[in-house]
Amino acid sequence: MDTALAHCSTAIAAVAAVPLEGLSASELGGAAVSIQGFIDRLTMVHARVVAEADRAGVWGGTGARNMADWLSQRTKTSYGDAMDRVKLGDAAEAAPELEEAVSSGEMSAKSAVALHGAITSAPEGADVAGLVEAAKGATPREAADAGEKFKESNRSRKETPEEAEERRHQKRSVRSGRPEDGMVTTTVVLPTLQHRQFINAITHVAGDPYEGDTRTTEQRLADGVVLLSDAYAKGAVTGGRERPTLLLVLDVEEGEARTAHGDNIPGHIAERLAENALVQRVLRTGSRILDLGNTVRLATDAQYKALVARDGGCRWPGCHIPAAWCEIDHLVPF
């Protein structure tokens, strides 16, 4: 192992010694992609070593809670990054096809980590190889979605919507890291609906950007959290300048709703929310007139909601941003 690691160090030093200033844009782009591929392959190798080290009990008696805790302490990396290594090693051990996919460059290490839960919880006889094959070339989010569908299709008993809601609810958490330079990173994990309500609330509390506002979106949301917490401490939680609105589109045939941001909401939850909501019926067969001619340039609220129901996001070829980020425009220039 020492000899192999020495060769690895030599190779890294050789790449680092290449003068970047003389490379063309094409060469730099190719190098950026190739190096990422090497990093993914090395990440998989690292994950297998971590899995074997965990099996050997290297963290026993050190005061660490588990292998990820030990690795993060020894390498000074984040606990989340160390846990990803543990998950990747476990998943590769359970599915050799996963290791092969990453090693061959057909799947990124991050996408492979996203399959961890589906692979390690797969029942006997489940087509794990088929899952890996389907996830080749997928982004981490797409791989995670494929994993969720795989788990759902391989449940011994079909999960009811209420059971699924409770399972997700039990995963909620708020975790804070160690202070660094007077700052603390807090990770919030919530079910999709509660997450959207949370974001909407702090967005409204923070207010819209104003002229000369130099804050990033992330900074405005952070200000919203602080303002809301401060208002609670003063006993004055009254919300923002207006009540946060959550736009849900419920397809009566599919039985599932989605928000304007592209979040999927279980149908039974959307139906429960609709009991105390403003409901607008949109028939795609044309019960509402959408073509107002050239006398009205800007879309009405009713048209916006209908477009969200119809399109769900940007219609420009290759663009996948959610409806909430889109501007409404004319297919034929006005």
Query: Token digits for 16?
Result: 């680092």
**Distance (Å, rounded) from C-alpha 248 to C-alpha 200?**
13
Number of H helices, E strands in the chain: 14, 5
Phi, psi of 215 (to 5 degrees): -70, 145
Q: Please report the pLDDT score of residue 277 as a whole number.
A: 62
Residue 179 above 80 pLDDT? yes
Structural contact between residues 154 and 147, judged by C-beta atoms closer than 8 angstroms: no
pLDDT, one tens digit per residue, over 122-131 is: 998 999 999 9
Structural contact between residues 109 and 40, judged by C-beta atoms closer than 8 angstroms: yes
Q: How many residues does the chain have?
A: 334
- 144: closest CA among 118, 168, 163, 107? 118
Structural contact between residues 248 and 256, judged by C-beta atoms closer than 8 angstroms: no
Choose the weakest-confidence range: 37-41, 83-87, 249-253: 249-253
Average pLDDT, the chain: 84
pLDDT, one tens digit per residue, over 87-123 is: 999 999 999 999 999 999 999 999 999 999 999 999 9
pLDDT, one tens digit per residue, over 193-220 is: 889 889 988 888 888 888 888 999 999 9
- 119: closest CA among 147, 157, 81? 147
- 244: closest CA among 282, 280, 193, 197? 197
10-46 burial, b if ≥16 CB within 10 A, otherwise e? eeeeeeeeeeeeeeeeeeeeeeeeeeeeeebbebbbb
| Mean pLDDT score, 272-284 | 61
Question: Residue 254 half-sphere exposure, CB side, CA atoms within 13 Å?
Answer: 11
pLDDT, one tens digit per residue, over 72-85 is: 999 999 999 999 99
Query: Token digits for 46?
Result: 């690292």
Higher pLDDT, 279 or 249: 249
pTM of the complete model: 0.58
